[in-house]
Amino acid sequence: MSRVKGGLMAQKRRRKILSQVKGYRLGRSTKKRMAIEAIHHAHLHAFAHRKDKKNDFRRLWTVRLSAGLKAAGLKYSVFMNDLKKKNILLNRKMLSIIADERPESFQRILAKVK
């Protein structure tokens, strides 16, 4: 059987892998085997963290909304319950943006809820 040299294609494969781990530290950025493992783990975490990001944003919206409500002397849970009872269909994201950027509009929403 003839000998196959790991020439151009092996270089391309290695270059492709190492380009993905640019900025990693130590051997993970220079050694092919370590780089492949680093990429594998990074992809696993990326999937989980894309899911976590949704929870992080919901938590941020709740905190922003609570800050706006605290100035009015209301609690978050009471406010959300009153919104549901009054059938006002604004989600947490929209409410937090309104509370943060347009306090006068938020006051009008509070007046309708009370």
Tens digit of pLDDT per residue, the chain (114 long)? 788 777 898 899 999 999 999 999 999 999 999 999 999 999 999 999 999 999 999 999 999 999 999 988 999 999 999 999 999 999 999 999 999 999 999 999 999 988
- Separation between Cα atoms, residue 18 and residue 24, nearest integer Å: 10
Map out the domains of the chain as residue ranges.
8-113
Residue 84's pLDDT is: 93
pLDDT score, position 4: 76
Judged on CB neighbours under 10 Å (0-12, 13-18, 19+), 14 is middle
In this structure, are residues 28 and 38 in contact, taking their beta carbons and an 8 Å threshold? yes
Q: Give phi and psi for 24, each to the nearest 5.
A: -75, 160
Report d(CA 94, CA 88) in Å as an integer. 12
CATH for 8-113 (3.40.50.2300, 3.40.630.30, 3.90.1640.10, 1.10.1900.20): 1.10.1900.20
User: What is the residue whose two structure tokens read 């051997």?
Assistant: 27
**Owner of token pair 């009471």:** 78
One-letter amino acid of 53: K
What pLDDT, on the 0 to 100 scale, is given for residue 76? Answer: 94
